[in-house]
Amino acid sequence: MKNKNVVTISGGTGGFTLLSGLKKYPINISAIVSMADDGGSTGVLRDELGVLPPGDVRQCLLSLSDSTETLRDLLNYRFQEGGLKGHNFGNLLLSALEKINGSFSKGVDEAAKILNVKGRVIPVSNEDMRLCIKLKNKKVLNGEKNLDHNKEIDAVGIDHIFLKNKVAANPEALKAIKQADYIVIGPGDLYGSVLPNLLVNGIAEAIKKSKAKVIYNCNLTNKNGQTSAFDVDDYVEIINGYIGKDRINFVTYNTGKPADKLVEKYSKEEGKNFVVQFDVDKNSKRKFKLIKSDFISNHELPGYQKSRVSVRSKSYIRHDSEKLAKLIMMIFELGEYENITKEII
Amino acid sequence: MKNKNVVTISGGTGGFTLLSGLKKYPINISAIVSMADDGGSTGVLRDELGVLPPGDVRQCLLSLSDSTETLRDLLNYRFQEGGLKGHNFGNLLLSALEKINGSFSKGVDEAAKILNVKGRVIPVSNEDMRLCIKLKNKKVLNGEKNLDHNKEIDAVGIDHIFLKNKVAANPEALKAIKQADYIVIGPGDLYGSVLPNLLVNGIAEAIKKSKAKVIYNCNLTNKNGQTSAFDVDDYVEIINGYIGKDRINFVTYNTGKPADKLVEKYSKEEGKNFVVQFDVDKNSKRKFKLIKSDFISNHELPGYQKSRVSVRSKSYIRHDSEKLAKLIMMIFELGEYENITKEII
């Protein structure tokens, strides 16, 4: 049987988790990555060098890489002093390769060779994309970096996001979507990682037209102000709003219980309805199949670096890489049969 | 027959030329590199990050590397804008690896693995070494960078150089010298590349004691103020002053004629006695064997980058990599016989 073509659209910790798990299976992965990041080292490089944002791509490359630990440590190394302070070595690598190769995509392909990457990492666009955030009070914030710990967003809430200028999709991304057997969306922040990809001209339309089945890995927790008290249907409705009515075929949903300490921490930071709920009675017409399982991670995520600290299970509620990948592979198997039960709950 | 152990002590364009040629032969190369560089990107990294100077090591690694052209281009890439302006990607790589591995030497070994380097690149010291230049008017200039295009040096001349603080030799450098069959000194600037290595505690003494034969690749041209109107015996005398009377066994000397245009250029910049001469009648007691040959290069030196431009044969009088390596290999063969003629002139 031919290996399945799998397109992923995710980002941040969620993307790293997803790809680290999936790379162990015999499938052809094309990881589409948003180019809207403009914070930290990435933001400085965009502004000063005029390059595309390397941060998320670096994480994707590392998650799919078969390279030595030394090379991973090197790519995650962040300079601590002088004019280089805060710059991540992997970001500098990608920016240098972009300059040498004359295009970000070609630079990413070269980096993938150096890092012995399994699958492909595809920037969603080769153009300069800038995210704008419209709040419910009609104010517009310029730049994705405003999504992080923003008290105004916490208080007012997001109405929607849009791109400052229209940007064209990377033809390689459109090709991968067209050839996909499965499109896996999430895990990842709705406004920070998932939706920016769908705002790029042609991407949502390509998903709409594609024969691929769509799996959505629903978030475990909500973000205050951004997705306050969202349930599964809220997430699905917003995403389907871009890619077509009932376009999502499968939703994975966590039933595992996070540690008490984390529950306390998240309650304070994200509000008491921070756990994403599923209300079976809310909607009798939903078409997606819900796959419930315990996805909670109990250990560290090796090789991942967020800002200046490694992500440890002790401080974040997040997906377990292996559990998630295993479940997705199971859905790929299920998908082979036409007559499976309508809902697996 | 066992491969010969060859230690090189050179630097800059000359070192790159020497190593690029030698790496093609079945010998064990240990390239000892001065840590006195403090100009340009290297100087900024030393000052801001407190690292050892990566520039010369980068060039050595590249000259001995079997890596792809892409990787070489990447290591030579110099950022052109913003806070990274002037920094060379390879320098950043070495500085990051030093920080991650906790020692410059270990970082160099890791870089050598990434670059698939043939032989070893050994920093002459793991300590912070700073060069001081004493002029003939007794003034002292602090920093090797003062050697470049310095009008005061041009006018007054150098008396000698010394290190600001005593630094210990890298034990790996001492070990390589002890185990060497041949020590190859030069080509390289006398004050900028060759002598700084001999100022490090233990290095000159180790060469003195070593059973290795010493080959000195004499410079093709003199530098105004530094080695104005020097002849072969002047160079040999100064170097032997550090490593022992008559310690140099072989001297290679160029008889090729540089292009007229270059003669004109060098006459202006380095004075009319810029060609290093050999006066056979000057000294009847010299013990070294002089090997005369045409070493002049007529083509580019691939992969080498000096400051912001590639070195092209059209603008510099320099050794040809292949001719030089071939001649040195011939000396290795000659050295096997005890009864060769005393002087090959």
B92 at interface of A, judged by CB pairs closer than 8 A: yes
| Tokens read off for B51 | 């690292």
The predicted structure's pLDDT at residue B307 = 45
Query: Which chain B residue has its CA at the smallest distance from A90's CA?
Result: B93
A109 at interface of B, judged by CB pairs closer than 8 A: no
Res. A345: pLDDT tops 50: no
The predicted structure's pLDDT at residue A342 = 46
Mutating which of B51, B81, B98 best tests the A interface, going by the most A Cβ atoms within 10 A? B81
User: CB under 8 Å to B106, separation ≥6 — which residues?
Assistant: B97, B98
pLDDT class of A11 with cuts at 50, 70, 90? confident
pLDDT class of B13 with cuts at 50, 70, 90? confident
Mutating which of B67, B70, B113, B116 best tests the A interface, going by the most A Cβ atoms within 10 A? B70
Measured between CA atoms, how close is A173 to chain B, in angstroms? Answer: 25
Res. B32: pLDDT tops 70: yes
pLDDT class of A270 with cuts at 50, 70, 90? confident
- Beta strands A309-310; A305-306: pairing state: antiparallel
Res. B343: pLDDT tops 70: no
Domains and CATH numbers, chain B: 5-344 (3.40.50.10680)
The predicted structure's pLDDT at residue A314 = 54
Measured between CA atoms, how close is A48 to chain B, in angstroms? Answer: 5
| Tokens read off for B28 | 């064990």
| Residue with token string 């009932």 | A246
Res. B265: pLDDT tops 60: yes
Q: pLDDT tens-digit profile of A97-136?
A: 999 999 999 999 999 998 889 999 999 999 999 999 999 9
Partners of A93 on chain B (C-beta within 8 Å) are 74, 89
B70 at interface of A, judged by CB pairs closer than 8 A: yes
Q: pLDDT tens-digit profile of A140-199?
A: 999 999 998 889 999 999 999 999 999 999 999 999 999 999 999 999 999 999 999 999
Q: Which of A306, A59, A7, A62 is nearest to A180 (CA)?
A: A7
Using the Cα atoms of residue B148, residue B207, residue B109 and residue B170 in order, give the sign of their dihedral. Answer: negative
pLDDT class of B342 with cuts at 50, 70, 90? very low
pLDDT class of B284 with cuts at 50, 70, 90? confident
Using the Cα atoms of residue A127, residue A133, residue A134 and residue A140 in order, give the sign of their dihedral. Answer: negative
Distance separating alpha carbons of residues A50 and A102, to the nearest angstrom: 12
Measured between CA atoms, how close is B70 to chain A, in angstroms? Answer: 8
Q: Do B84 and A48 touch (CB under 8 A)?
A: yes
The predicted structure's pLDDT at residue B148 = 85
Query: pTM value?
Result: 0.85
The predicted structure's pLDDT at residue A108 = 96
The predicted structure's pLDDT at residue B33 = 96
User: CB under 8 Å to B92, separation ≥6 — which residues?
Assistant: A84, A89, A92, B45
Query: Span A263-269, mean pLDDT?
Result: 90
Res. B174: pLDDT tops 90: yes
Query: Span B245-255, mean pLDDT?
Result: 96
Torsion over CA of A222, A223, A226 and A228, rounded to 10 degrees?
Answer: 50
Q: Do B74 and A82 touch (CB under 8 A)?
A: no
Res. B21: pLDDT tops 80: yes
Q: pLDDT tens-digit profile of B54-106?
A: 999 999 999 999 887 888 889 999 999 888 999 999 999 999 999 999 999 99
Q: Where are the alpha helices (DSSP H) in chain B?
A: 12-22, 40-49, 55-64, 69-76, 89-101, 104-114, 151-156, 171-179, 195-198, 203-209, 232-243, 260-270, 321-334
Distance separating alpha carbons of residues B168 and B178, to the nearest angstrom: 16
Beta bridge partners of residue B217, listed in sequence order: B252
What Cα–Cα distance (Å) separates residue A33 from each residue in A8, A10, B83, B286? 8, 7, 26, 69
Distance separating alpha carbons of residues A12 and A34, to the nearest angstrom: 10
B71 at interface of A, judged by CB pairs closer than 8 A: yes
The predicted structure's pLDDT at residue A67 = 79
| Radius of gyration of chain B, Cα coordinates, nearest whole angstrom | 19
The count of C-alpha atoms lying within 13 angstroms of the C-alpha of A101, restricted to the half-sphere facing its C-beta, is 22
The predicted structure's pLDDT at residue B308 = 38
A4 at interface of B, judged by CB pairs closer than 8 A: no
DSSP code per residue over B13-41: HHHHHHHHHHTTSS-EEEEEE-----SHH
Bigger pLDDT: A93 vs B313:
A93
Distance separating alpha carbons of residues A109 and A59, to the nearest angstrom: 14
B58 at interface of A, judged by CB pairs closer than 8 A: no
Query: Which chain A residue has its CA at the smallest distance from B90's CA?
Result: A93
Q: pLDDT tens-digit profile of A218-260?
A: 999 999 889 999 999 999 999 999 999 999 999 999 999 998 8
Res. B322: pLDDT tops 70: yes
Q: pLDDT tens-digit profile of A23-64?
A: 999 999 999 999 999 998 899 999 999 999 999 999 999 999
The predicted structure's pLDDT at residue A311 = 46
Q: pLDDT tens-digit profile of A297-334?
A: 877 666 665 543 344 445 789 999 999 999 999 999 87
pLDDT class of B301 with cuts at 50, 70, 90? low
CB-closest option in A48, A74, A92 to B81: A48
